[in-house]
Structures are given as C-alpha cells and as structure tokens.
Amino acid sequence: MVSVLLVAAVVGIALGVFLQKGRFCFVNAFRDFFAYKDSRVTKGVLAATLLTMVFWGIAYQFGYYQEFWTPEWGLTGFIGGFIFGIGMTYAGGCASGTLYRAGEGYLQFWLTLLFMGVGYVAFALAFPTLDSTYFETFTFGEGVSLFTVSEIPASVLALSIAIGGLLIYVTLVGRSATTADLSERSDTAQLNLTAFLAPVAGLRQFVRGTETYFRGLVGAWRDPLASSKQPWDPRTAALGITAAAVLWFTQASIVGVTGPEARWSGYLLSQVGVDVESYEYWGSVLFQGEGVDVTVDMVMIAFVIVGAFLAAAWSGDFSVRVPKRRRLPNAVFGGLLMGAGSRLAPGCNIGNIYSGIASLSVHSFIAALGIIAGVYVMTHWIYREVGCAL
C-alpha cells in the first residue's frame, strides 16, 4: 500500500509539473485551434494521446497493466461530453487544467472545483432516475476496448494507428505547404504529382520540426536551472505526461480526473456525517461496495495540485489570484456543467480524450467527439464579436 501511495505521489506531482510548465490544457488545445488556428497545444495533446496509446498497447500485450477505461457505449458519451465541453470552455479550464490552475493560485478555479463538486452531488442524488431514463435510453452496447477484441497484437495495432495518424497529419501539413505552388501552376499532371508528394513534403517538415525540437531540448540542458524556469513546449509536457501515465497504467490504473473527484465529493460529505454509502451512485458505482474511503487515484489527483504549485512557485508563476466579479458565473456554471457532464458521459477530457482513446475504448471515441463539439459551439459563442477562424 505504501509503495502504491508513493507511486501516486510521484505520478501526481509529475503530471502537475508537466501540465503547468507546458500550459497543457485541453480547452486551449481545441478552443484556440477553432478560434485562430493555433495548433501548438493541439499537437501536444495528439502526441501525448498517441504515444500513450503505443506504450499502453505494449504494456497490455505483455500483461503489465491494471485496467482500461471502457464504459458502456452509446449516445451518453456524446450528450455528456457535449455538456462537459460547453462547461470547460466557459470555465476556461478542462478537468486537468482546473487542477493545475488551482495549484497556481487561481481562486477562480478553486471555485470551479467546488461547483464541479456540486455537479457530482446533484448527479449522485438524481442517479436512480437517470439510470432508468437517460442511461437505459441512450446506451447501445457493452463497453469494449479494441485492444481486447482485435486479433492483431496490441502493440502492432497501437503502432499502426499512431503511424496512420502521423501520415494523415503530415499529409495535411504537406498539402497546406504545397497549395501555394499549386495556385501558380494549372496543369493537372502537376496537380496529381503534388497530391503524391504532399505526405513526403509533410513528413520532411515533421522530421525537421522534431529535429529542431530535440536540438532545442539538448540546448536547454546546457543551462538546466534557467531553462526549468522558462515556459516549456507542449511537446515536452506530452513526453513527461506519457511517462507518468505509463507508470500509473502498469502500477494502478488509467489516468482519470473527474472519477476520483466525484469520489472526493462523496468522501468529504461522509466526513461531515452524510451516509454517502447508502446512495447507489457512490456506494456501488464509485466506491464499488468497498466502503467510502480515500483511494489511491484520489491521492494521485490531489498531488497534481501539489506538483503544479511546486512548478509555478519555482518559475515565479505562483500567486493568489482573485477573479474579477464578472467571472464568477464562469466558475459557477462552467463548474456545474463540467461536474454533471462528466458524470453523464461518463468521463472528462482526460478520461475520454486522453486515457479513453489511448485505451482504444469505443465509448471514448464518441465522448471525445461530443467534448470537441461542445468546445466548438462555445468558442463561437465567446468569440461572437470578433469571429472565429474555423
């Protein structure tokens, strides 16, 4: 038990540090891509998810794993994900982003956390009704990970998907780089050739970019103290998060945020005398009949806040930040929608976009689409006066 707690502390602190230093936020990743085509954090999120998928696939194939995230699949993922996506964009931070910003000293995000808690409690109270209406109506099949049903060895499957994803990415990059030439030339033979060359051009650009990145990383090591105080590339955060997630996957579980948070809400209520265990959602779903107590994943996410605090304090980014009064609705309603949405899905941006897709869980593909759709709609609303690029 002590060793698992130690792993929880190490993983939590590492995640907090990398999230804070890379400003690794899923709202940022999608919102800024939709608003003005800024894809730096989007690339970090994609890299972290695909890399984690490869390593988890390998770990699964050789039996070094604890579990995948595979809830029953259906429209619940899309509806809950959509509500969660709206909420996280309005709040200004995703489930993991809220944690690391809480560690940086944002009172606004402590308030968001509080109202996410209210969302969890409201959901737990309404669960018996929701179970027979919402979940029964919108669930279509048993939860499944493609890793477990595929004939292809998990490591090969994961690698092929990652390589496929990379090829699509470099083709898109290559095409946007070659369209400039295209407009100047009009013969069709040239057009066909360019279609062929796009992946090659894109791949070359990708290799160059990666090389520059690693050279920069090596350069940064020459003065590690100064570099550690600078902001880090989201790709560095992606590498660090992947390492922490692989350790967590082999020792404890998938990385989740809102599940453990919902357990925290039940645990804290039990400490003030509420008979939490008698509620079906907490008793049999979240704590699985094993009694309301602090579990290792609850410890792990608490350490994310600690890690973010340490990283922020070290970089001179920590301060107690008081929100403007006009931002309080963002924390209150954003938090409520995140809490409720993450339970209706179930799963947040980490459970469904990061861990869920890395688990190749059918449920999470649908939920991720719902979350991204929610961010898209909300981004257009927030940017309504100045316009979005997409």
User: Binding residues for another protein, per CB under 8 A?
Assistant: 23, 25, 27-28, 31-32, 35-36, 38, 40, 92-93, 101, 104-106, 108, 212-213, 215-220, 222, 227, 230-233, 235, 312, 316-319, 321-324, 327, 379, 382-383, 385-386
Do residues 363 and 72 lie in contact, with contact meaning Cβ atoms separated by under 8 Å? yes
CB of 315 to another protein, least distance (A): 8
| 140: phi then psi, degrees, rounded to nearest 5 | -110, -25
CB of 224 to another protein, least distance (A): 10
Specify the residue, 11 or 312, whose C-beta has the smaller distance to another protein.
Answer: 312
Specify the residue, 9 or 40, whose C-beta has the smaller distance to another protein.
Answer: 40
DSSP letter assigned to residue 324: P
The torsion of the CA quartet 170, 175, 177, 181, rounded to 10 degrees, works out to 150
CB of 207 to another protein, least distance (A): 15
Chain centroid offset of residue 343 CA:
15
Q: CA angle 99-101-102, nearest 5°?
A: 65
Do residues 25 and 41 lie in contact, with contact meaning Cβ atoms separated by under 8 Å? yes
Specify the residue, 40 or 175, whose C-beta has the smaller distance to another protein.
Answer: 40
Specify the residue, 62 or 381, whose C-beta has the smaller distance to another protein.
Answer: 381
Residues 6+ apart with CB under 8 A from 387: none
CA distance 16 to 10: 10
CB of 27 to another protein, least distance (A): 8
CB of 220 to another protein, least distance (A): 4
Specify the residue, 36 or 64, whose C-beta has the smaller distance to another protein.
Answer: 36
DSSP letter assigned to residue 383: T
CB of 181 to another protein, least distance (A): 22
Specify the residue, 193 or 328, whose C-beta has the smaller distance to another protein.
Answer: 328
